[in-house]
Amino acid sequence: MLSFWLVSAGWLVLKITLIITGLMMLQGVMKEFKVLDFLAKLLSPLMRIMGLSDNSSFLWFVAQTLGLIYGSAIVLEAIEKREIEVENADLPNYHIALNHSLLEDILLSLEI
3-state secondary structure the chain: CHHHHHHHHHHHHHHHHHHHHHHHHHHHHHHHCCHHHHHHHHHHHHHHHCCCCHHHHHHHHHHHHHCHHHHHHHHHHHHHCCCCCHHHHHHHHHHHHHHHHHHHHHHHHHCC
Residues 89 and 70 in one domain: yes
Q: What is the structure's pLDDT at 112? A: 55
The confidence band for 18, taking pLDDT boundaries of 50, 70 and 90, is very high
Q: Domain tally for the chain?
A: 2
Residues 25 and 41 in one domain: no
Please give the model's pTM, rounded to 2 decimal places: 0.66
Q: What is the structure's pLDDT at 65? A: 73
Range of the domain at 26: 1-33
Residues 25 and 61 in one domain: no
Residues 60 and 99 in one domain: yes
pLDDT tens-digit series, residues 37-89? 888 888 888 888 888 887 778 778 777 777 777 777 888 888 898 888 887 78
Above pLDDT 70, what percent of the chain? 98
